[in-house]
Amino acid sequence: MSDLLALSAAQLAERIRARELSREEVWDTYRERAAADDLNAFLWVAADAPDTGDGPLGGVPFAAKDLFCVRGVPSQAGSRILEGYRPPYTATAVEKIVAAGAPLLGKTNQDEFAMGSSNENSGYGPVLNPWDRTRVPGGSSGGSAAAVAAGQVPWAIGTDTGGSVRQPAALSGIVGLKPTYGAVSRYGMIAFASSLDQAGPLTRDVTDAALLFSVMTGRDPCDATSLEHPEAIRLPSAQDLQGVRLGVPDDVESAAGIEPGVLEAFRATVARAQELGAEVDTCSLPHARHGIAAYYVIAPAEASSNLARYDGVRYGLRVDGDDGLLAMYTRTRHEGFGAEVRRRIMLGTYALSSGYYEAYYGRAQRVRTKIADDFRAAFERFDFVVTPTSPGVAFPLGAKTDDPLAMYLNDFFTVPMPLAGIPAISIPNGLSEGLPTGFQIAGPAFSENRILDAAYALEQAIGFDTAAVHA
């Protein structure tokens, strides 16, 4: 079993094709590990392997965040208000992966409706970090990240609204890719903030991320915001960074809450990039520091609209009462939504209310435009902008639950990219206090192939040991 677990998803697919491993052997191994989950990473595990046929993913099982609808399978967005909900349709991203030959192993735990940076906001309990079970795995795709890091599943998919693929990837010591907005269909993803949500892979290495992402892309008539990717996604092969220009924001080292160990790992990775031939200089993203403020107006505003559908009438939880319809709405939402979701709904409703719309939502949208303009200007000089993925390593469970602002600042480096609609990847680049740190590479829209190549070259040079996979 240990030999099988040491293989990446791409290697497993190759061994299966070569008949050196059977699909049944791979499925049974991972099914056993997922069923024995001691991290609270899974909310549902399949009983039997579905027949997926042949395809480029070679029969290697995957897990999907609970936010993805899967026909006949509990799809609850980590929320008690959707407990037991089994949708009549499947998300396009999941359908594409299954059609490419990967069977669905399970659904993973998450922050409720993807609202969180620690996976402590789940209605089904927190996920534990496999590197240290007293700490968080990051969020909101923490279940997917922890399951991959712990070797419970070869690869998984999550969603990234303000950093929810990249930040848990960094805190769990794996790779997380947030694609260009529109590159992957959002159909069947339970909505949080529709102008920001995007699906992406969480994997052991960059090659796996490219392989999984390659089957997820494409225009979908069910999602009007989806686009055909202008390039076929290929497996990365770059061995160096000759001629690659990297921009380091001039305020990285003064970022709020950045830990010395994270900064040390970032500097070391930048130096390694220079050894590989990259040209490095500082760049200016003057409006990026306002990203957290803009995001926490825009995302809650969109959430307040999207979550209005959970009224106890059409589906999901219903808490009846004797005081009429309004009382039923109130009781249902109070019991069904967690504290963080209620907080964001109230913030968003206030920002959209009469007399405040322009002062808050309108202004935040203008800041969003400025951030996108900053990136466009930076990409005239640089191929990529690089930062730490998270200001700190995985923090203890409960350490930030009473301080929402401290929790929100975990997304300081990841929020600007979804506001601008551009792709970014996080790769593990070292340890601080025995816990993983992440290195983030962001590029212009639809530059995923180039980002993956750069990440691959760095990954090979860093040689990070995914030790948690054997935990």
- Calpha distance 380→378 (Å, rounded): 5
The domain 2-239+443-470 is placed in CATH, from the list 3.90.1300.10, 3.40.470.10, 3.40.50.10810, 3.30.365.10, at: 3.90.1300.10
Beta bridge partners of 248: 282
Task: Taking each helix axis as running N to C, give the angle between helix 206-216 and helix 9-17, from 0 to 180 degrees, rounded to the nearest 10.
Answer: 70
Phi (first) and psi of residue 288, to 5 degrees: -60, -30
Q: What pLDDT does residue 354 have?
A: 80
- Calpha distance 348→297 (Å, rounded): 6
Give me the DSSP letters along 65-110: ETTB-BTTB---TT-GGGTT---SS--HHHHHHHHTTPPEEEEE--
Domain segments of the chain as ranges: 2-239+443-470, 289-364
Q: What pLDDT does residue 469 have?
A: 62
pLDDT in tens, 328-353: 999 999 999 999 999 999 999 999 98
Which 3 state secondary structure label does DSSP give 351? helix
Q: Is 164 a catalytic residue?
A: yes
Catalytic residue among 8, 65, 122, 214: 65
Q: List alpha helices for 185-224, DSSP H.
A: 206-216
Sequence-distant (6+) residues with CB within 8 A of 366 are none
Please say whether the beta carbons of 108 and 139 come within 8 A. Answer: no
Question: 424-432 and 435-442 as β-strands: parallel, antiparallel, unpaired?
Answer: antiparallel
Give me the DSSP letters along 143-157: HHHHHHHTTSSSEEE
pLDDT tens, N- to C-terminus, the chain (471 residues): 668 999 999 999 999 999 999 999 999 999 999 999 999 999 999 998 887 778 999 899 999 999 999 999 999 999 999 999 999 999 999 999 999 999 999 999 999 999 999 999 999 999 999 999 999 999 999 999 999 999 999 999 999 999 999 999 999 999 999 999 999 999 999 999 999 999 999 999 999 999 999 999 999 999 999 999 999 999 999 999 999 999 999 999 988 889 999 999 999 999 999 999 999 999 999 999 999 999 999 999 999 999 999 999 888 899 987 788 889 999 999 999 999 999 999 999 999 988 888 889 999 999 999 999 999 999 999 999 999 999 999 999 999 998 988 999 999 999 999 999 999 999 999 999 999 999 999 999 999 999 999 999 999 999 998 766 655
pLDDT in tens, 306-315: 999 999 988 8
Please say whether the beta carbons of 455 and 236 come within 8 A. Answer: yes
Catalytic residue among 117, 164, 214, 226: 164
Q: What pLDDT does residue 52 have?
A: 77
Catalytic residue among 122, 140, 226, 304: 140
Tell me the pTM: 0.96
Please say whether the beta carbons of 371 and 287 come within 8 A. Answer: yes
